[in-house]
Amino acid sequence: MSKKEKLKFKKRIKEQILQEMSRAENAPPKSIPQQESIKEELIEQSVPTHQSPITPPTKNIDNLDFVRYDLKKSAIIIGSIIATIVIVFFIDNKTGFLLKMSDSLFKVLHINS
């Protein structure tokens, strides 16, 4: 998006927000309920009603499934990196191949120490 398009977009969004605000200010205020309706509401609230037990949502956990999948994948990757480092450490202690590889890498890249 070019700079001009961004400026036009921002300007259009500001205009829309201002229009919505002006509509909200010009809207007629809500009527105040009369005394009788207030009494009826209080009576309805005071009467005990049987409430059903709260049930957990069933399909709203989809986002958590994605997060769990990503965490498992990250744990597997981190674990494999750590295992590789440990294996290389023990092999290097026995054979010393890291020093040989670093010497050959210095020669190939023409790095003088």
DSSP string, the chain: --HHHHHHHHHHHHHHHHHHHHHHHHSPPPPPPPHHHHHHHHHHHHS--PPPPP---SSTTHHHHHHHHHHHHHHHHHHHHHHHHHHHHHHHHHH-HHHHHHHHHHHHHT---
Token duo for residue 2: 């070019």
pLDDT, tens digit (0-9, with 9 covering 90-100), for 26-85:
766 555 545 556 656 655 555 555 555 666 555 556 667 888 899 999 999 999 999 999
Q: pLDDT tens, 63-77?
A: 678 888 999 999 999
Q: Is the pLDDT of residue 15 over 80?
A: yes
Rounded distance, CA 69 to CA 77, Å? Answer: 12
pLDDT at site 41: 62
